[in-house]
Amino acid sequence: MPAKARSKKKNELAESFQNFTPYKPKRGEEYMGEPQQKHFKAILLDWKGQLMEEVDRTVSHMKDEAANFPDPADRATQEEEFSLELRARDRERKLIRKIDKTIDRIDADDYGFCDACGVEIGIKRLEARPTATLCIDCKTLDEIKEKLQLG
């Protein structure tokens, strides 16, 4: 698959993940109560479903497109294309694992709070990155530390 087509697919997947109705908390509503947990669980399950469909499409594509080209350049091009697809699927496999862990956190009533300091991560941040485990302040500090360590 050409790079332009892969980029288009990636953008379509990102857009479809973002196609949800933002959560509007009611006045006095408890943070990460049952309605909010249901909202985020639905987002995560939908996202996981989309990723799983992409995995299935890749397997089908690789079976359909696999050919033994006599020309070494054509064969190398196909192998590189498959390699790139497999790397992308590997990243998605890791993301699916992270989504599963996040769903487990929702089920255990441990979702939406920062792992480092314990404050609320916030609905908008979680809608932007549903698998977030750090509040924006702790994530910023974490990135600064990482940048200093890498030089």
Coil, helix or strand for 109?
Answer: coil
Contacts of 9 (CB under 8 A, 6+ apart): 1, 54
Report CA dihedral (132, 134, 140, 142) to the nearest 10 degrees: -110
Residue ranges making up the domain that contains 138:
114-151
Same domain flag for 97 and 141? no
Same domain flag for 145 and 124? yes
Same domain flag for 135 and 77? no
pTM: 0.77
| Per-residue confidence band for 1, with pLDDT thresholds at 50, 70 and 90 | very low
As given in the structure block, the two tokens for residue 18 are 């973002």
pLDDT one-digit tens code per residue, 87-130:
888 899 999 999 999 999 999 999 999 999 999 999 999 999 99
Same domain flag for 3 and 71? yes
Same domain flag for 130 and 82? no
- What is the tally of structural domains in the chain? 2
pLDDT one-digit tens code per residue, 133-149:
999 999 999 999 999 99
Contacts of 142 (CB under 8 A, 6+ apart): 116, 134
Cβ pair 134, 121 in contact under 8 A: yes
